[in-house]
Chain A
Amino acid sequence: MNQEGILRHAATRFLGLIPTLLVLITIAFFLIRVAPGGPFDSEKVLPPEIRTNLDAKYHLDEPLLMQYFRYLGQIVSGDFGPSFQYKDWSVNELIRRGFPVSGTIGGLAMLLAFVIGTLTGIAAALRQNTMLDYGVMGVAMLGISIPTFVVAPLLILGVGVYAGWLPAGGWDWSWQRMVLPVVTLALPVIAYIARLTRGSMIEVLHSNYIRTARAKGLPEYLVIWRHAFKPAILPVISYMGPATAALITGSVVIERIYSIPGLGSYFVQGALNRDYTLVMGVVVFYGVVITVLNFIVDLLYAWLNPRIRYDELQ
């Protein structure tokens, strides 16, 4: 692989990040302002005097364009501003505290899903149309179709309340409190990866170069590991980019049911409360995470797939 080509590719991709983010910020900024209502609306309507004071404090009394440029200026200096809702914390602090939690749970879930998903997928592919295959794929179908908001309360009830093996929820960075959310989060992904791996593995096993490898008398495990595995997980890798981004940025459902202080709830709560700064902060952060992950997937692809050559792309 051409080193220089990769570097050049990486550099262009990173430069491409800036206009992408600018578009994202602009759209998100005006979209949330278009949504009816504002951060200080509630059923207990504020007297006009107090409303004016609040608008002035948060610069909501300025023209929208001016607010937009003020916001852009802030972002350039890395400051997402104060949260409208959580007044004692800045958006930067909330993200700094929320992301490690979501990232840990999501990362562990992805790891678990990748290992179990690919192993079961390969096993099913090697024993195609046997009981094992049907069993694994049946369970995978279940895993995909049963939503997490059903699995999570059932796990809490069974493992947490009745058996008392693990805490029912909450967060303190101990492994006991991570098990249930990680498993819940990983289940549908395991199922999806298993199906993907099985499908592509079957396809790869039928290709000519595998037949050649077998014909020259290579042991079966080497055929699988050295020749079939890498191309077979290509679709999994391209799925993993966006999937990892989705997992590590936090799931509202999981966070709510297990009372976990991740990022996902900030996004949804922020949008519902019209907490403009919080929503914007999380959106920009998501944007960066997703772009970076897609970039990593691109590089992985090149490493796994000999058909992609960066020097030829230039």
Chain B
Amino acid sequence: MNRTLPIGILMACSLLALTACGEREGDFGGSAERRPQPVQLVLTEEGRPAPSVLADEQVVFRGNGEEPETLDPHLAIGVPSSHILRDLFEGLTSESPEGDVIPGAALRWNISRDARTYTFYLRRDLTWSNGDPLTAEDFVFSLRRAANPATAANSARMLLPVLNAREVLAGELPVEELGISLLDEFTLQITLTGPTPYFLGLLTHPIAYPVNRKNLEQFGDQFSRPGNLVSNGAYVLTKWVPRVEIVLERNPAFREADDTLVERVHYLPIEDHSSEVQAFRSGEIDWTNQVPNNQFKWLQKNYPDELVVSPWMGSYFFGFNLTREPFVDNPSLRMALILAVDRQILAEKVAQFGEQPSYALVPPGIDGYVPFSPEYADWSQAERDHEAQRLYEQAGYSEERPLRVEIRYNTSENHKKMALAVASMWKQVLGVNTTLVNEEFRVFLQNRAQKVLTQVFRAGWISEYNDPYSFLELFRSGHGSNDYGYSNSTFDALLDQVGTERVRARRERLMFEAERVLMSDHAIIPLYTYVTKRLVSPQLRGWQNNVMDHHQTRHMFKLRWQSDAPAATENPGPEPQTGPDPAVSGDTEVETVTTEPAGQDA
């Protein structure tokens, strides 16, 4: 957790980066050639990796950030727990390595003409990890449990598109009234309040995973402990030592157990990013959750093959408090401040990891949606600065009467760097006097929500599902996360229409229009869009970059090291393995390894 990282540790990290860069180059951490290389991937006719290229021990160690708060799928909130739960459980739908929705426990489904009723047909041979059959009734029970007020599931908000979910959560209707019904042993129907194109994606979220009723009734709140937990995914929980490790073993009862190559996966909760990199460098983990923000250059130089940077479903921006001076009813001033920021420099010099400069709210790459791009996106920075100065004067400010403003952020080295850079750009272009205010996270959240002290503040959003609506919704009048005080009836009306529109193209058009309205009101200062950044062992393959940053272990496998490889004789296309092969080590993209599920026919 970045915000809890004492500055001292960050200093230590930079010091560490310095010493590391210093003299030992070419010795250990220096050149990639001296480190062992995996053999080249060879695929069988079915598109599976050939047994001859696989490492003998298929055990994966994944760095996983913080300790997961729970392994009860319905109570889980954070990213660390969701990584593990995706391995343990499977919802009605699942995800391919690319992040596309594919059939999971449900073999196929029908969507009614009004896009409000989904009928799911389950696979008939599904079992829990204890051998019990898994039927549609398990899903009905589980979704009802997730929405039950007594469960008090934090993530139950993901279920709000389901008919009556809000009323059930509020305790106004019994859970039986939730829009989910059992048609027969292997068929169930879910009714929604309105067309929700991302609903199939929502079903891959842990809140929609099935839990075993008998298991739950037997062990109560201890049911998610190793030995107790019964799951239906590719792996089962075998060990959990808090803040040490969580170990999962392959589930032989899983429907695709034969295609699951990794036998065991260890999730290690390593909170400190630098420590995680050290663990990776000393070979203790194959996959880091993060890398330290200030080590990009060094990592890029010394670990070019291992460093993987990929777009993520998140935007980083600054918000205005639109309910108070100086920004209320002052669009010229807001626009001036938006224009005077050089996003190219922010992305390249401050964020540094390949983050993309952003001119709107929704990040690119979300389910085919093309975000709105304002006019000034095509201008040069000189043109923007010029226009910014004009608007600044128009708003009544000048060199003699400069704007005094506060940028508020939660304590973190990254937010500070960003705020400092923006403040200096404003100073340079407009002569604005900016004060930086940092606050402890919860204090910051409270001040943001109260909209009294805030002027300009750090904001951002990382979506939990693959749809632009997740971002736009934040600006609806009265929305719980609308700390900007933004309110525009045209915008709200557009969002209402989005909620009922079932033609995909028209819905996208409406969302685009809503984003245009929002950006034309100059409600936020877009800065950049997020990336995921981690180190991955070149041995570990089968996964793909995706905007969700979801990576199930069952798609992965480990290649043999070249030094351990048996003499290549019976391979279909054996290559002499001398030196690093550019096809393997040259880029970080995995080429055409897909592990298509066997019985897919949706």
Contacts and interface: CB of A to CB of B under 8 A. Distances in A.
Contacts of B70: 86-88
**B-side interface size class:** 35 or more
Given A47-B160, A153-B13, A253 B281 contact: no
B486 to A, nearest CB: 15
B443 A170 contact: no
Contacts of B461: 43
A37 B442 contact: yes
A163 to B, nearest CB: 9
A152 interface: yes
A265 B1 CA distance: 12
B246 to A, nearest CB: 11
A265 B67 CA distance: 11
A91 to B, nearest CB: 12
A303 interface: no
Contact of B72 (A85, A88, A170): A88
A264 to B, nearest CB: 11
A40 B244 contact: no
A54 B152 contact: yes
A168 B270 CA distance: 11
Contacts of A171: 243-244
Contacts of B29: 161-162
B12 A152 contact: yes
B170 interface: yes
Nearest to A275: B69
A54 B442 CA distance: 18
Interface string B145-157: 0000111111011
Given A86-B67, A274-B442, A97 B242 contact: yes
Interface stretch (B46-54, B135-143, B271-279, B548-556): B271-279
Contact of A50 (B16, B169, B275, B481): B169
B284 A167 contact: yes
B83 to A, nearest CB: 16
A268 interface: yes
A30 interface: no
A41 B464 CA distance: 17
Given A50-B157, A168-B275, A261-B242, A253 B152 contact: no
Contact of B446 (A41, A164, A256): A41
Nearest to A38: B442
Given A36-B443, A168-B275, A256-B271, A161 B9 contact: no
Interface in A72-118: 82, 85-89, 94, 97-98
Interface in B438-474: 440-443, 445-446, 449, 460-461, 464
Contacts of B157: 46-47, 50
B480 A45 contact: yes
B71 interface: yes
Contacts of A253: 6, 8-9
B376 interface: no
Interface string B1-35: 10110101101110110011000100111000000
A87 B242 contact: no
A258 B275 contact: yes
A45 B481 contact: yes
Interface string A189-213: 0000000000000000000000000
Interface string A254-292: 001111110001001100101000000000000000000
A43 B470 CA distance: 13
Interface in B234-271: 241-245, 268-271
A22 interface: no
Given A53-B152, A149-B6, A154 B19 contact: yes
A57 interface: yes
Given A40-B154, A259-B271, A168 B6 contact: no
Interface of A: 35-38, 40-50, 52-54, 56-57, 82, 85-89, 94, 97-98, 147, 149-150, 152-154, 156-157, 160-162, 164, 167-172, 253, 256-261, 265, 268-269, 272, 274
Given A35-B443, A253-B6, A261-B241, 8 more contacts: A53-B149, A88-B69, A149-B11, A154-B16, A157-B278, A169-B270, A170-B244, A256-B9
Interface of B: 1, 3-4, 6, 8-9, 11-13, 15-16, 19-20, 24, 27-29, 67, 69-72, 75, 77, 149-154, 156-157, 160, 166, 169-171, 221-222, 224-225, 241-245, 268-272, 274-275, 278-279, 281-282, 284, 440-443, 445-446, 449, 460-461, 464, 480-481
